[in-house]
Amino acid sequence: MLLGVNIDHVATLRQARYALLPDSPHAEPSPLQAALDSRDGGADSITIHVRGDRRHMQDRDAFEIRKLCPLPLNFEMGVTAEMTKLALKLRPDFACLVPETREEVTTEGGLDVAGRLAEVKNCVATLQDHGIRVSLFIDPDLHQIAAAVASGAEMVELHTGCFANSVDGTHEREIGRLIEAAKAGHAAGIQVNAGHGINYSNIYRLFVVPHLVELNIGHSIVARAMRVGFTEAVREIKDLMVAYPDA
Ligand code: PXP
């Protein structure tokens, strides 16, 4: 099982102080350093999301990480002309299409691929034409899986937010949805990844979901890094992932 480390919140912390001082030599912490530390800790890829409002990652972070970090880069992006243009300039290895609204604190729900099929299909084809493999961040619903397959994307990333927030009464239902979606995606021949809200305590509960190739984890690694350092935080979660039966 592969680990994609989402380092957006390293940039969140930097922007909290330096958003208005983008050229300050004192700006810290460095997303590039977090990417390099992730590599040292065993990450398989780096994920960044340049949002329309540039609230955390800036364009220059993306280009710097692309140039100086040897790991594959996964570029999370809204389905917009602006982001498609940026992706074609950046040339990441992968792009993950996500919904994006300005009010949300982070990516709150999956992309409605079924409701936006023509638009998504078009974006997928444009990215693929430029050698970028595409993933769609979707809720674990069978109609979204079917739409993702119809879009031509190579991968889906199942949204694990509801699983992560589930309590005793809803946990089984959420795991059941993930299992069904993973089986359907795999049967249709697309790569199945998962992400959002995964942490050092709930990751084990996800291991009953079959066919998962990659997990994308951000917030909890950044939080853990405050205690043990970034490299060690990545190493710890990577160590937990070896228990995945399908690994
Ligand atoms: N996957 C996607 C598509 C995301 O947008 C995010 C961040 O919101 C993550 C994974 C990582 O989520 P978290 O920071 O909760 O680990």
Quick check: is 14 in a domain? yes
pLDDT tens digits, one per residue of 85-98: 999 999 999 999 99
**Residue 30 pLDDT > 70:** yes
pLDDT tens digits, one per residue of 180-230: 999 999 999 999 999 999 999 999 999 999 999 999 999 999 999 999 999
Closest CA to 231 of 7, 2, 1: 7
- Pocket mutation for ligand 1, best pick of 2, 3, 6 (most atoms within 8 Å of C-beta): 6
Quick check: is 206 in a domain? yes
**Residue 106 pLDDT > 60:** no
Marked catalytic residue, from 9, 56, 159, 196:
196
Residue-number span of the structural domain to which 214 is assigned: 2-241
Quick check: is 71 in a domain? yes
Quick check: is 94 in a domain? yes
Determine contact, residues 192/154, Cβ cutoff 8 Å.
Answer: no
Quick check: is 246 in a domain? no
Residue 239: partners with Cβ closer than 8 Å, 6 or more residues away = none
Give residue 107 CA to ligand 1 midpoint distance, Å. 7
Q: Sign of dihedral through CA atoms 152, 156, 161, 167?
A: positive
Return mean pLDDT, the chain.
95
Per-residue pLDDT at 168: 79
Q: Six-digit token pair at 135?
A: 């993933």
Give residue 243 CA to ligand 1 midpoint distance, Å. 22
Marked catalytic residue, from 9, 76, 157, 174:
76
Per-residue pLDDT at 71: 98
pLDDT tens digits, one per residue of 36-63: 999 999 999 999 999 999 999 999 999 9
Quick check: is 247 in a domain? no
- Give the domain CATH number at 94: 3.20.20.70
Quick check: is 57 in a domain? yes
More confident residue, 52 or 101: 52
Give residue 51 CA to ligand 1 midpoint distance, Å. 13
- Pocket mutation for ligand 1, best pick of 51, 56, 76 (most atoms within 8 Å of C-beta): 76
E-only strand ranges, the chain: 2-6, 45-49, 73-77, 94-97, 133-138, 155-159, 191-195, 212-217
Determine if the peptide bond prior to 29 is cis (ω within 30°).
yes
What is the 3-state composition of the chain as percent helix, strand, coil, each rounded to the nearest 5?
45, 15, 35
pLDDT tens digits, one per residue of 112-132: 999 999 999 999 999 999 999
Looking at the CA of residue 137, tell me the nearest atom of ligand 1.
3
E-only strand ranges, 149-241: 155-159, 191-195, 212-217
The number of distinct structural domains making up the chain is 1
Per-residue pLDDT at 100: 83
> Is there a catalytic annotation at residue 196?
yes
**Residue 103 pLDDT > 60:** no
Give residue 197 CA to ligand 1 midpoint distance, Å. 7
Question: Any residues with Cβ below 6 Å from ligand 1, and which?
Answer: 6, 49, 76, 96, 98, 106-107, 137, 157, 195-198, 216-220
Looking at the CA of residue 161, tell me the nearest atom of ligand 1.
15
pLDDT tens digits, one per residue of 197-207: 999 999 999 99
Looking at the CA of residue 220, tell me the nearest atom of ligand 1.
16
Closest CA to 134 of 183, 193, 178, 188: 193
pLDDT tens digits, one per residue of 60-73: 999 999 999 999 99
**Residue 34 pLDDT > 80:** yes
- Residue 155 pairs in a beta bridge with 135, 191
Per-residue pLDDT at 167: 83
Quick check: is 46 in a domain? yes
Per-residue pLDDT at 108: 65
